[in-house]
């Protein structure tokens, strides 16, 4: 039985060109989140696991599984895993990070084998492809803009059909309303 809900986000903000991010130990790293990215990661923890289940939007749910693009030969970025880290720690749910960002089919197959609610943290250039694979081509979202880190794509299983929604996170100053279109 496929999950009843799949939520997909992009990793938190990355360093600007020529800058370095900061790893979880405070050391500079070109493969880690920027300070703003870490702020988003922390805010996302309570966004997906709010106190008393008071979600900011009725389409958001507490994930029982977290899948993030992993580190490998084609990408040394740890931003996906770092973005998922605070939520993982809060929920006590391990981050599944064995799929690389280009392994959308394998990641989709894994997630479709889960039940309940799943959250995926992925590379923005691959999210549209990931959604298409998850839905068997039924949903074809717009490409993810380079400058947006503040959107949640949501797939809800309604009687065996995927209903697609997107909502803005509105977690940090400067986050925009609206979705990908």
Tell me phi and psi for residue 135, to 5 degrees: -100, 10
Global pTM exceeds 0.85: yes
Tell me phi and psi for residue 92, to 5 degrees: 70, 30
User: Has residue 181 been placed in a domain?
Assistant: no
Average pLDDT over residues 17-45: 95
CA R_g for the chain: 15
Q: What distance in Å separates the CA atoms of residue 26 and residue 47, rounded to the nearest whole number?
A: 24
Average pLDDT value over all residues in the chain: 95
User: Has residue 141 been placed in a domain?
Assistant: yes
- How many domains are there within the chain? 1
> Is residue 43 exposed (0-12), middle (13-18) or buried (19+ Cβ within 10 Å)?
middle
User: Has residue 52 been placed in a domain?
Assistant: yes
Average pLDDT over residues 34-48: 98
User: Has residue 176 been placed in a domain?
Assistant: no
Q: What distance in Å separates the CA atoms of residue 119 and residue 106, rounded to the nearest whole number?
A: 15
pLDDT tens digits for 138-165?
Answer: 999 999 999 999 999 999 999 999 999 9
**Coil, helix or strand at residue 65:** strand
Q: Which residues constitute the domain of residue 157?
A: 5-168
Q: Are 8 and 131 in contact (CB under 8 A)?
A: yes
User: Has residue 51 been placed in a domain?
Assistant: yes
Instruction: Determine the length of the chain.
Output: 181
Q: Residue 159 is part of a domain; what is its CATH number?
A: 3.40.50.1240
Q: Are 41 and 86 in contact (CB under 8 A)?
A: yes
How confident is residue 120, by pLDDT bands cut at 50, 70 and 90? very high
What is the pLDDT, as a whole number, of residue 68? 98
Token digits for 101?
């960002």
User: Has residue 120 been placed in a domain?
Assistant: yes
**Residue 2 predicted with pLDDT over 70:** no
């Amino acid at each position: 039985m496929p999950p009843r809900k799949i939520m997909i986000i992009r990793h938190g903000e990355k360093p600007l060109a020529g800058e370095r991010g900061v790893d979880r130990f405070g050391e500079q790293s070109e493969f880690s989140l920027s300070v703003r990215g870490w702020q988003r990661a922390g805010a996302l923890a309570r966004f997906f696991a709010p106190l008393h289940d008071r979600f900011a939007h009725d389409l958001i749910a507490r994930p029982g599984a977290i899948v993030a693009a992993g580190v490998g030969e084609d990408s040394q970025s740890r931003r996906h895993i770092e973005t998922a880290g605070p939520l993982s720690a809060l929920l006590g749910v391990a981050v599944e990070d064995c799929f690389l960002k280009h392994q959308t089919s394998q990641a989709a197959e894994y997630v479709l084998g889960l039940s309940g609610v799943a959250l995926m943290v992925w590379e923005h250039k691959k999210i549209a492809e990931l959604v298409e694979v998850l839905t068997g081509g039924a949903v074809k979202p717009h490409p993810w803009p380079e400058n947006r880190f503040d959107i949640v794509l949501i797939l809800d299983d309604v009687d065996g059909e995927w209903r697609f929604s997107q909502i803005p996170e509105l977690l940090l100053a400067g986050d925009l309303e609206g979705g990908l279109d």
